[in-house]
Amino acid sequence: MTNMGWIFRSATELAEAIASRKVSSEEVVREHLHRIDVANPALNAVVARLDDEALADAQRADDELTSGKRRGPLHGVPVTLKESLSMAGKVTSCGSQLLQQNVTPESATAVARLRAAGAIPIGRTNVPDMGMDAQTHNLVWGTTRNPWNHALTCGGSSGGEAAAIASGMSPLGLGSDVAGSIRIPASFCGILGLKPTQNRVSIAGHVPLVLSDYLQIGPLARSIDDLELALRIIAGPDGKQSLIPPVPLPPSSEVRAKELRIGIINGNGTTPISHAVDDGLARTALAAVDAGHHVEPADIPGVEDVLPCLSRIYGVALSALCRNVRHNPERYHPYLTQLEELFGAPTAREVEESYRLREELRARMMACFARHDLLICPQVTIPAFPIGTTWNEVDLDGATVPLVSTLVYSFLVNVTGNPSLAIPTGLSDGMPIGVQIVGRMWDEPTILAAARPLLDALGGVPAPPKLS
């Protein structure tokens, strides 16, 4: 790390160094662009580079500091953005061949707010075709690989973003999460990913704009401070999405993060969990005890109900996409054909039952938080799996299981709307393992406050062994 200049520093640290004139924004941006030159060919994480614009913006940021102007808390700091987030005047395609002419006239709210805070986008990162997979691959840009093992997936759908941050191409980025799409790749790549409370952040400008009851935009980073800073920047009403309430977001420093009641969910026999992930849960539980918290087993009865609940509702919301895939399969990545078969066409009675299950799951989650301040549970029940794994089968400690069954806890917080932070717990067989810390609705500050000492106790955010 000492030989890499300003690479692998946090966005918060970079912002302070630029503001104090220890380093210029131009120097920091150039170093990160060079890092993309070095690391991206093997990973294919950044699919649209913004070099000329970024360098011009960095020079402008330095000139502004000279004249005493600072745009905001990320003034001059390079960031990357998931390609499904609109940028004004750019093609925003979500990796789809059918959207290669989709020039978006304005930026997504979250992107615009990050830029208004002084951040400088240096690249846009890869996504699955239409953003619906736990891997990152499409017919436009190809496959993104995991920085820890290039034969394994980086996760999805914010997989390009997670791979870029994990490999030092960017200190901070934005992704989106409709069924684990921030937290799955964060876990697989060994970084941090925050899915805010549903409707905490406007999703205006996301492509495609579907499943608004579940979709949320949030930050990925290697620092808790960076996540909190980014969330404060992008959260709140924007006058475009009507369901964003003006809920306060107090600093996590105001939270008393001692003696919390923390429930540990490890499947309780209903959802198989790999030994690697179970060990990560155990390490996190011990760290929480050492930090002075009250830790005990917890359970959400019938958590497996999220699978029929979500898949049927998705089947309705994505019916037009499924029809297009069925009629023009050559225009879409093959995984979407598998997904179309998985969703099927639910009956009206099945849809009605799914909405009933959704409300039951939300009530069960609220009942769980009547007993606990935080929950710690699996993110994905397995480590990163080989690129090309189908939705029909994946390996779980020697047993073949449907991939969807390993994502129960990823789906859970999209169904209930709770905020959730993916946090690394260490390595297993050379690969990072992540779990998630789930909080009450609108209570991201408690998650972040508790996560800081836990992350330190678990060894922090690891850097991949091959940095060149």
User: What pLDDT does residue 1 have?
Assistant: 37
Mean pLDDT throughout 148-157?
98
Relative to beta strand 261-264, strand 374-378 is: parallel
pLDDT higher than 90, residue 337: no
> What pLDDT digit, counting tens, does each position of 204-246 carry?
999 999 899 999 999 999 999 999 999 999 999 999 999 999 9
pLDDT higher than 90, residue 338: no
30-34, 45-49, 321-325, 423-427: which range is least confident on average?
321-325
- How far is residue 338's CA from residue 134's CA, in Å, rounded to a whole number? 13
Residues above pLDDT 70, as percent of the chain? 99
Which contiguous run of DSSP H or E holds residue 367? helix 348-371
Q: What single-letter amino acid sits at 68?
A: G
Residue pair 58/29 in contact by the 8 Å Cβ criterion: yes
- How far is residue 98's CA from residue 102's CA, in Å, rounded to a whole number? 9
User: What pLDDT does residue 210 have?
Assistant: 87
pLDDT higher than 90, residue 434: yes
User: What pLDDT does residue 245 have?
Assistant: 96
pLDDT higher than 90, residue 257: no
> What pLDDT digit, counting tens, does each position of 345-400 carry?
889 999 999 999 999 999 999 999 999 999 999 999 999 999 999 988 899 999 99
Name all domains of the chain by residue range, CATH numbers in brackets.
Answer: 11-457 (3.90.1300.10)
For 184, residues 6+ apart whose C-beta sits below 8 A from its C-beta are 134, 155, 156, 379, 380, 407, 410, 422
Active site residues: 82, 157, 181
> What pLDDT digit, counting tens, does each position of 170-182 carry?
999 999 999 999 9
> From its phi and psi, is residue 417 left (phi > 0), alpha (psi between -120 and 50) or beta?
left
Among the listed residues 294, 288, 297, 305, the one whose alpha carbon sits nearest the alpha carbon of residue 267? 297
Reported as a pLDDT band with limits 50, 70 and 90, residue 53 is very high
